[in-house]
Amino acid sequence: MGMIGERVLRTEDPDLVMGRGTFIDNLALPGATHVVYVRSAMAHARIRGIDISVARAMPGVLGVFTHADVVADGLGPLPMDMPLLPADIRRPALADGTVRFVGELIAAVVAESRALAVDAAEAVYVDYDALPAVVDPEEALTSDVLLFPEHASNVVVELSAGKEVDFSSCEVIVETRIVNRRIAPSPLEGRVSASRWEEAGPDGIRRLTHWQACQGAHPIRNQLCAFYELPPEQIRVITPDVGGGFGAKAFFYPEDLLLPWLAKRVNRPVRYTESRTESMNGLGHGRGQIQDVRIGGNRDGKITAYEMRVIQESGAYPRFGAFLPFMTGRMLTGTYHIPNASMKSQSVVTNTVPTLAYRGAGRPEAAAAIERAVDMFAAEISMDPAEVRRRNLVAQDQFPYTNGTGTVYDSGDYPGAMEKLLVVSRYDELRAEQQTRRESGASVQLGLGLAVYVEITAMSGGAELGIVEVMSGADGAVRAQVITGTTPYGQGHRTTWAMLVSDRLGIPFENITVIHGDTDLVRSGEITGGSRSVQIGGTNVWRAAGVVADKARQIAARLLEASVEDIVLEDGRFHVAGTPSVTRSWTDVIATAMAMGERLDGEGDFTQASGTFPSGAHLAVVEVDIETGKVKLREMFAVDDAGRIVNTLLAEGQVHGGLAQGIGQALYEEFIYDADGNPLTGNFADYGFPSAAEVPSFVTIHMESPSPMNDLGAKGIGESGTIGATPAVQNAVVDALSHLGVRHVDMPCTAERVWRALEATK
């Protein structure tokens, strides 16, 4: 019996819930010291001087280091992690005379304990010469305040997608502004890392062992190689259990990158564990996109034109966040047939934390715009938003479909997902309940919010290491080992890869182990992000198991004295087709292979040509108190199509987590700076996000439109919830107030924003 599609419990969980997990902060590192960084208290300033004398003389302090020490040891600015960024804008590892956001690193204090390092860091005196700050991205476009005067502009990247849009034939044109506010990723575990130089080997060379809570051990090793100009064989990176990442841990940071240098300076291992405030003010933020949207069409509900102008926050140092509009442009028209579409964007630097990837990374922004715009268009022509969608969704027989900006979607059934959603949610009954409340003048109004989304996963395709070997264990049991280049941080890769191997080879699921996250044990690996793992990493594990099966069939053919083509592997035993009563076991095959000096191993050879396109339809049901503005999410329905699902239980977990984060963006989350660049939401006391008490039980339904892009027919599902939930909830809030004259409420739809929107109609 096959395992694919079954609800299999995660094998990772027992260790985690019973405290047996291996997290870097709990690793025993004899002789380890601790680093605490002195961070800028100003958003924009010149550093006139740094007095480290008091800190350096404090008990337990092993060293205090500044930019001058970095330069003296021949280390340059941080590597660039994206092409096409301005070459004249580089971030120093420690501030080089100018600070550009609150939280930027100025000095590193290494001490015997974290407590001693904290005390010493507070004793470092920094003399600032304040400079004007620019925080608002729109102001940054024209401001005389330049973060990098040598660049002569705060604009760092300009992008476009599609062709000039013609609105001349439109009967109806709607314009609006949509703000995707800056969000802190807030993983349960912040940045944690450690570095240790090992004793020199016979060749006289010392190797570096570096531990980091990240989304890919090999990409981090490659960045260390680039920064320190060392060959890969001299660096070992280990990534054990990781407490979440949401995209932000896919990238390097100076806090981690400096540890090998600091460890060499003090000749001891060095650890770094950030506080929650440091995480909020330093771990790459997400979203930060302002969209001016224009949508046009006819009064029969047909949409014919769509364009968007984007201003993207890059933060103080442009990195991946500056290119988020690229993904927004690729997914611009969502699930709708609108060939006449375009996007233009400008990414600007501001005196804020640099933006990076956050769950969805550019695709939720596209969905937020088009789904909000479709609802506003529906309101303008007095048509139910479900009906407008019905008249514009890409039909199932149009796949593969090329959207208005040239992106080719692989497969899907958008109308089918929406119709299933409307039935499951009892949409007509909810509309009737809404009308009753409106007619009664109830103080608590009902709102329904639809979103039919599509996103891209695995972006540009690619490959991933997958090796499988079958052997006999010390106990005589048949066992399999999987080596994967993926680095899980909560997704359940160990469970999923074991399911794939068990399904293909018939070896008991519990007898399969998975090795990952160690560059000495795993030859190569990529970033775990963009919902790419199952479709690429999983397919290579699947293919590797297939290679093993083929080797085993050859041996079984000899044992059964039959042709290889006639050998069937069924339920973990080999037999000749049509003669299931005479079999050979894996034990027989392994013993024969050992006698022949052969290994039963295989490696996947799959490279995916391009991305895949998960889709779905979400409906949010909210209750809004029109006297106070308070919003309560009453129900949430999600129909998601991620192609073939390997483990439905894990898929539901991914959807649940994504929905919660999408709801958070729609109703609660917003990282705020004042006009001088001071963070006002730098910890969980001020930064709002939903707990279990604020979200209802979700109704989740899976559809399957298999992708033709890989053997499994799989698409990603890790980010889908964030893409559909956010506009669905925002649309629901506006829908609850639409009969009162409210046309739009910015995210997050807090009680204050709702109340102000209502007041503006009076």
Q: Is 99 helix (H, G, I), strand (E, B) or coil?
A: strand
Residue 353 lies in a domain: yes
Domain count, the chain: 4
CA 258/CA 108 separation, integer angstroms: 9
Res 83: pLDDT: 86
Are residues 159 and 272 part of one domain?
no
Are residues 548 and 694 part of one domain?
no
- The CATH code of the domain that includes 267 is 3.90.1170.50
Are residues 489 and 628 part of one domain?
no
Are residues 466 and 509 part of one domain?
yes
Q: Which residue, 260, 280, 300, sits at the end of a domain?
A: 280
Element (H, E) at 664: helix 648-667
Q: What is the pLDDT of residues 282-330, one digit of tens each?
A: 999 999 999 999 999 999 999 999 999 999 999 999 999 999 999 999 9
DSSP state of 355: B
Residue 138 lies in a domain: yes
The β-bridge partners of 608 are 462
Using 70 as the pLDDT threshold, list the residues of the chain that sit under it: 1
Residue 399 lies in a domain: no
Are residues 747 and 737 part of one domain?
yes
Q: Which residue, 227, 252, 280, sits at the end of a domain?
A: 280
What backbone phi and psi angles, to 5 degrees, belong to 760? Answer: -70, -20
Q: What is the pLDDT of residues 702-711, one digit of tens each?
A: 999 999 999 9
Res 664: pLDDT: 98
Residue 8 lies in a domain: no
Res 659: pLDDT: 98
Res 84: pLDDT: 87
Are residues 657 and 704 part of one domain?
yes
Residue 647 lies in a domain: yes
Are residues 236 and 117 part of one domain?
yes
Q: Which residue, 280, 313, 330, sits at the end of a domain?
A: 280
In contact, 329 and 341? CB cutoff 8 Å: no
Are residues 733 and 644 part of one domain?
yes
In contact, 338 and 392? CB cutoff 8 Å: yes
Domain that holds residue 583: 460-608
CA 485/CA 532 separation, integer angstroms: 12
Are residues 622 and 565 part of one domain?
no
Are residues 288 and 322 part of one domain?
yes
Residue 632 lies in a domain: yes
Distances from the Cα of 487 to the Cα of 376, 434, 602, 607, angstroms: 42, 46, 20, 18
Distances from the Cα of 259 to the Cα of 252, 268, 273, angstroms: 12, 11, 11
The β-bridge partners of 445 are 624
Q: What is the pTM of this model?
A: 0.97
Res 80: pLDDT: 86
In contact, 434 and 448? CB cutoff 8 Å: yes
Residue 656 lies in a domain: yes
Helix spans in 404-511 (H): 414-424, 427-440, 493-505
Are residues 191 and 175 part of one domain?
no
Residue 61 lies in a domain: yes
CA 174/CA 293 separation, integer angstroms: 8
Are residues 31 and 98 part of one domain?
yes
Res 260: pLDDT: 98
- The CATH code of the domain that includes 466 is 3.30.365.10
DSSP state of 206: P
